[in-house]
Structure 1
Amino acid sequence: MKHLLLAHFTSRLCWLLLALLAPLAATATHIVGGELELQHKTGSTYTLTLNLYFDAINGEPGALDPQLTASIFAKANNQRIVNIVLPRTADTFVNYTNPACAVGSLSTRRIVYTRDIVLEANTYNSPQGYYVAVERCCRNNTISNIVAPNNAAQAFYMEFPAVVRNGAPFIDSTPRIFPPLGDYACRNELFYYDFGGQDPDGDSLAYDMVTPLNGYTSSTAPSVTQSGPAPYRLITWNPGLGTTNQIPGSPALGIDARTGRLTVRPSSLGLFVFGVRCSEYRRGVKIGETRRDFQLFVLNCPTNTGPQMQVRATGSPAVYRPGLDTLRLVPGGNRCLTIRFTDPDPNSVLTMSTRPVNFTGLLPQFTTASTGRVRAAGAPDTLTTTLCFPECIDTRGQVYLLDVIVADNGCSLPRRDTVRVAFTATQPPNAPPVLTSTFPPAPLPVSEATPVVIRLPLGTRYTATLAGTDADRHALALTATGLGFDLASMKMSFTAQNGAGQADGTFSWDPACEAVPSGGLLVRFRLTETGPCVPQTRDRLVRFEVAPPGDSAAFRPPNIITPNGDKLNDFLTMPDLPVDFCERKFASIQIFSRWGKPVYQSSERGFRWGGQGAAGSYFYLVTYTDGRKFKGWVEVKP
């Protein structure tokens, strides 16, 4: 911890600590701040939560309510919809960014009140939406920037949309503002903190500073059984302060409208309350808002000089010049930076990091130690590390920006030095692998998505070989995958010998009845590179079909019989019927008179029908177990 244990720091804090501790006997509840949130669970069920932040040093434990009441109102007319009792469900401490910077005069607890509620569509359907409020007194009585802080209350406030819109469900979870503030600020030093929210629905969020709500509770009536409707009274700023100047400084406290990042260089000591609003937009229309009240403690801190660094391309004597130089990363060239970093203050622990500015994906990595101590006994004055860009970064002709950051361990927040590095990068060339096989060529037009068809009868075996080669000698792997089935279950097998620049495989298939009902088995044979930046694949699709024996088109039964006893053409038989094949089997023959009356039926393939002694025309119907049918007629002559 940088300088924090120095004796002069204690003496410089002494007057402020005494001022803060003196009035404890008459303090109120010491609410630090808080916010409401509403999260969708399932159907019409939502979770309503109040996060209340409490001064763990000066607060009165007896003021921690076991439950609080939230009231929901319609925005259109301020009509009360329902009161909801929120039980206390959690009580934890808010962490410092750097726990080593903790001071005994600042500790915050996060008290959570929460309950599942049901928002029915026939109730919560007002186009103007709804708001939730919880009122409670009182704030810290040592707050420096508002009038009568000992009697300043708080109204926690949140807006949410109707749960139905244009006759359809409209689901929304309000944004969650993270994280709560656990740190203090140092006078005349830049303070920064991320109040950016997260929205489960992907809605757009916008931030601005607002005056905190006071509401209507007081030190004599600190809690109410239900909140009153809006509008709520505002806290009163001290002279010279206001919404855009809540904490005086250069700059005064402000928030980035897009990122939610708070910044201030405070010019005065004390405890300062402030308010932030996070508005939620969907398709350009505001649908809700969440407000957070909080407070910031400003102390006199020991002087902390920021760290410095120099960046060079490895092997180059020239220092990188941000805004003027652009690194050109090419295959086979140098892809590393040498970074020297130091700090004028003794016993500083320095840490390097990187942050992409305008890109995502692969990031450079530190290949040597990126943290260390300087200017301590036995420690160097300057540290060195190496940052190398992966070979596979490809900027596709654009200039990427990367912030290289060194941070110390100063309090309350680290001081930093940042060098923004601009670079372009190209990947090494990669020739695609080549896949060959003994399969027949695919029909035209040839593509990897066009399968070749292999048709075999039962009782035969099919074998094919495949070979993959790669001119770049990248590692290759051959695989075979049944699309929708397991190879072994269909009596297929595939083995491969994979290696650098070469892969060989052998496939075999023993056609079986299991393959018949599927109407063909589609197998993808794939050759894959492993190791290059963008692995390339080569596919071959093959459809395997079981060919039935014989040809049903050749089936031509007789159409006349002469049952006269001369042993020539005396019976109707069908020896050329399609043979039984797996589950496709002969089922029956039926013969009908010309008027549709059944005269004969048999389930035997070798049936013999002699006309039953009646000349004339008859019709027959042959059926198979797979639903196939053959129809025809036969003439019986004496």
Structure 2
Amino acid sequence: MRKYFYFVFFLALSFKSFATHIVGGEIELIQLKNPSPGMTHEVILNLYFDAINGDAAAEDISLTLTFIQKSTLGRVGEATCQRVSRDFIKYIDPTCSKGDLKTMLIKYRAVVNLTAAFFSDPAGYAIVWERCCRNVIITNIAKPGDAGMVFYTEFPPITTANSTPHFKDVVADYLCINQNFEMDFSASDADGDSLTYELITPWAGYSSRTVTNPVSIGRSSYPLTTWADGISLSNVIPGESPLEIHPTRGILYVRPNKLGLYVFSVMVKEYRKGKMIGLTKRDFQLKVVECPINLPPQVMVKNQNSSVFFNENEVVNIKKGDKRCFDILYLDPDINQKITITARGVNFDAQKIKLPAVSNVVVQNADTLRSTFCLDDCVITNNNQPAEFIISVSDNGCPVPQIRHYRMRINFEDAVNNRPIVSTSLTDIPTVMYGDTLEFTVFGKDIDLDTLSLTSAGRGFALSNLGFSFTPQSGVGSVQSTLKFIPNCAAVLEKQILLDFVARDQRCGVSSQSAYTLPIAVRSQPNNAPRVLTSLSDNTVEVILSPTEPTEISFEVDASDSDNERIELIGIPDGFDFTNAMMTFENKEGIGNVGSRFIWAPVCSILNGQDSKEFVVNFRTQDKACEQKQDTVSVKFLLKNNLAPANPLAQYNTFTPNEDGINDYFNFGDIPENNCNRQFVRFEVFNRYGKPIFTTSDRNFKWSGDKEPTGEYLYILHFTDEVFKGIIHLIR
């Protein structure tokens, strides 16, 4: 069994009695701006009730509306609405009410929770309530006492934020035979959606005398009422001008010629971005009665200070410089009535009609009254069409005011807005050298003498970033300003620059503009590359490293520029760091000439155990011209370890210290020079008991044996990386 979801549940009283009481009404669904938890919308049913012919006992205390899913026609919920107010309709003039005709507006209300789980179908939803019966005295439908009524509203899924249209309250329930009747039957829309109006045949639905309030179910259509003989949708209320409704303004108009009570139905459709998203149906009834004759006001319009009146709908031409003021002459044949004058623009903003307040002016005699109105200088229409507006003169007659509409169409000969003109004082496309200054005047002119502004902009850049200065100007008719250009290096690099000058007029909030594009070529001065040299005769330096006596490398680096521009001199080590290598060089900057000294005293540790290592330093000079040029010299440093041939160490180990001049002492000859890998430390001699008897750090020592006896002695030769041992034979 299908489940139904009840948003608000109330105990409702059910009436079985039959009555002829319903005049009309409609359903509204309003999205809450500050919803409470679990409540998203307010649903209202406005019911117009015949308080004279209706049965008061049949007035519902509460009623239950049904929510229908349009795509499936299935019921998706209900809302039980309680009666919240009951008031007689309010006439524009309270004295217009009639003792034998009283229409009451009864409002029913509930707050509901429409969740996305049940109300997200793109096809939308409907709210329905059916009730019987209509007034038995209705003239324009057959068997009105058996005809029910369907209250019906459609709305989009709740994923589309929306409130349904809200009809204005009805201000009259009768009209006078053979007299014009005009009533605002329009609705407003809180979401700003577009609304259209049309008369439709009233729906009868499925209620009846026996089932006055059936449970509504989803239906694709509902039975219609049957028009009485001679009645159709084209003459719902018959007359010299049958009932009609303006399709976009919702104004009802009729001039009836038959007495009776007439029911009619209006459908308002709601559009958003050209797509219909909802509709609401409202039924109502109007009674045509005999009334005292109430003639509409009369109105004529002419140019101020002229005696010739315009023919209605003629196009009035206003020349440039002519006053835009007019006289309205009006009168009302019905003495002591009150007159009100309003104006509505058809194709322009009515606020630009300067109409003095004319409201409830009492007509005391048959004299013609006068009022003056003017059109603002800024009345503008699309495509230079004539300005069209309607002057409405209304009285305070019953049941609604009698209104005389006067339509005017005015053509302004000066409506065309000519584009302003932009020009400069230049005679040719300029070329500017770096270091020079370009200065010229830019002019803006408007032949219409409108308010004018003059601006400039760089094509793809800010003016100040490339050295431009320009002050925007404004004035009436003509303006001028000076552009000054001192190109900087960024401008030189662009080579060609595009400037846009725009003159824009302002007429009544609408602007017209013209643009002038100026190309400017930018050139740099000729630029010679600077030179960099060292004081070395050969830019390859070879150094044999000594562990004890460091070798200092020192030379000058000089840079010069024949253009005498500012230059910089920098040292760039190739793959290493100056500080880690303990090199000293200070980068310098100056004008024309600059120099700096390079100093380096490399030590063995920089070889990191290798026999040789190469270092390269690039010395670069670069000028500060816009199109920079540079020169580089590279110095190569080749560091080597002192790899002397190895000493065989003691080619002999026997000596005879007998002072015969032959082999009188012991030494090793020339011990190899110290290098980064090996350095001599000391030489020691020990006797057979391990006692040291000779020690020296002199690499050129001579041991004569001292007073030691003949025998074998142990020697030890110490180097930083190795120790050598051997036997010495001493013979005496």
Q: Matched residues in 2 for 1:456 and 1:52: separation?
A: 82
The DSSP-based 3-state class of the residue aligned with 2:295 is: coil
After TM superposition, the structure 1 = structure 2 runs for residues 423-462 of structure 1, keeping only pairs within 5 Å, are 423-427=410-414
Alpha-carbon offset, residue 269 of structure 1: 4.8
Alpha-carbon offset, residue 318 of structure 1: 3.2
Q: Which amino acid aligns with 1:424?
A: N
Alpha-carbon offset, residue 68 of structure 1: 3.3
Of stretches 203-212 and 463-472 in structure 1, the one that deviates more from structure 2 is 463-472
CA contact (8 A) 1:241 1:248 kept: yes
Q: Matched residues in 2 for 1:317 and 1:293: separation?
A: 49
The DSSP-based 3-state class of the residue aligned with 2:296 is: coil
Which string of whole-angstrom CA distances, capped at 9 and with x for unpartnered residues, describes residues 146-195 of structure 1?
A: 677677653322345678xxxxx9x5858626334322332312323344
Q: Matched residues in 1 for 2:613 and 2:412: separation?
A: 93
Kindly tell me: are residues 242 and 211 of structure 1, through their superposed partners in 2, closer, same or farther at Cα, counting changes over 3 Å?
Answer: farther
Q: Matched residues in 1 for 2:438 and 2:58: separation?
A: 84
Does residue 72 of structure 1 match 2:62? no
Kindly tell me: are residues 66 and 108 of structure 1, through their superposed partners in 2, closer, same or farther at Cα, counting changes over 3 Å?
Answer: closer
Count of residues paired in the alignment: 569
Match of 1:592 in 2: 575
Q: Matched residues in 2 for 1:248 and 1:241: separation?
A: 8
Q: Matched residues in 2 for 1:442 and 1:602: separation?
A: 56
Match of 2:335 in 1: 346
Kindly tell me: are residues 534 and 620 of structure 1, through their superposed partners in 2, closer, same or farther at Cα, counting changes over 3 Å?
Answer: same
Alpha-carbon offset, residue 345 of structure 1: 0.9
Of stretches 95-104 and 184-193 in structure 1, the one that deviates more from structure 2 is 95-104
CA contact (8 A) 1:86 1:114 kept: no
Of the three residues 368, 374, 388, the one matched with 2:374 is 388
The DSSP-based 3-state class of the residue aligned with 1:264 is: strand
Kindly tell me: are residues 621 and 404 of structure 1, through their superposed partners in 2, closer, same or farther at Cα, counting changes over 3 Å?
Answer: farther
Question: Identical aligned pairs, as a percentage?
Answer: 24
Of stretches 212-221 and 498-507 in structure 1, the one that deviates more from structure 2 is 498-507
Q: Matched residues in 2 for 1:393 and 1:408: separation?
A: 29
Which string of whole-angstrom CA distances, capped at 9 and with x for unpartnered residues, describes residues 251-305 of structure 1?
A: 4444455664433334455554322234567899877543222232444332101
Q: Matched residues in 2 for 1:527 and 1:322: separation?
A: 41
The DSSP-based 3-state class of the residue aligned with 1:293 is: strand
After TM superposition, the structure 1 = structure 2 runs for residues 274-353 of structure 1, keeping only pairs within 5 Å, are 274-278=264-268, 289-322=279-312, 325-353=314-342
Which string of whole-angstrom CA distances, capped at 9 and with x for unpartnered residues, describes residues 112-133 of structure 1?
A: 545352345996256xx65432
CA contact (8 A) 1:617 1:634 kept: no
Greater radius of gyration (CA): 2
- Contiguous gaps of at least 5 residues in structure 1: 1-24, 164-168, 445-451, 513-521, 544-550, 623-629
After TM superposition, the structure 1 = structure 2 runs for residues 128-527 of structure 1, keeping only pairs within 5 Å, are 130-136=125-131, 153-159=148-154, 171=160, 176=165, 178-188=167-177, 189-196=179-186, 205=196, 207-216=198-207, 222=213, 227-230=216-219, 232=222, 234=224, 246-256=236-246, 260-269=250-259, 271-278=261-268, 289-322=279-312, 325-357=314-346, 359-361=347-349, 365-366=353-354, 370=358, 373=361, 375-376=363-364, 381-393=367-379, 398-427=385-414
CA contact (8 A) 1:561 1:635 kept: yes
CA contact (8 A) 2:93 2:398 kept: no
Alpha-carbon offset, residue 602 of structure 1: 10
Which string of whole-angstrom CA distances, capped at 9 and with x for unpartnered residues, describes residues 366-391 of structure 1?
A: 56665564641xx6610122343444
Q: Matched residues in 2 for 1:254 and 1:273: separation?
A: 13
Q: Matched residues in 1 for 2:63 and 2:570: separation?
A: 78
CA contact (8 A) 1:206 1:280 kept: no
The DSSP-based 3-state class of the residue aligned with 2:575 is: strand
CA contact (8 A) 1:374 1:383 kept: no
When normalised by structure 2's length, the TM-score is 0.56
Kindly tell me: are residues 453 and 305 of structure 1, through their superposed partners in 2, closer, same or farther at Cα, counting changes over 3 Å?
Answer: farther
Match of 1:108 in 2: 105
Kindly tell me: are residues 277 and 32 of structure 1, through their superposed partners in 2, closer, same or farther at Cα, counting changes over 3 Å?
Answer: closer
The DSSP-based 3-state class of the residue aligned with 1:118 is: coil
CA contact (8 A) 2:454 2:480 kept: yes
Kindly tell me: are residues 30 and 430 of structure 1, through their superposed partners in 2, closer, same or farther at Cα, counting changes over 3 Å?
Answer: closer
CA contact (8 A) 1:212 1:274 kept: no
* More relative contact order, 1 or 2 (CA 8 Å, 6+ apart): 1
Which string of whole-angstrom CA distances, capped at 9 and with x for unpartnered residues, describes residues 3-35 of structure 1?
A: xxxxxxxxxxxxxxxxxxxxxx99677563213
The DSSP-based 3-state class of the residue aligned with 1:117 is: coil
Kindly tell me: are residues 26 and 233 of structure 1, through their superposed partners in 2, closer, same or farther at Cα, counting changes over 3 Å?
Answer: closer
CA contact (8 A) 2:429 2:518 kept: no
Alpha-carbon offset, residue 346 of structure 1: 0.3
Q: Matched residues in 2 for 1:51 and 1:456: separation?
A: 82
When normalised by structure 1's length, the TM-score is 0.63
The DSSP-based 3-state class of the residue aligned with 1:108 is: strand
Q: Which amino acid aligns with 1:158?
A: T
Which string of whole-angstrom CA distances, capped at 9 and with x for unpartnered residues, describes residues 310-352 of structure 1?
A: 23334443332336x4322110235443332111110132233
Q: Matched residues in 2 for 1:117 and 1:633: separation?
A: 83
Of the three residues 30, 34, 39, the one matched with 2:26 is 34
Q: Which amino acid aligns with 2:636?
A: V
The DSSP-based 3-state class of the residue aligned with 2:114 is: strand
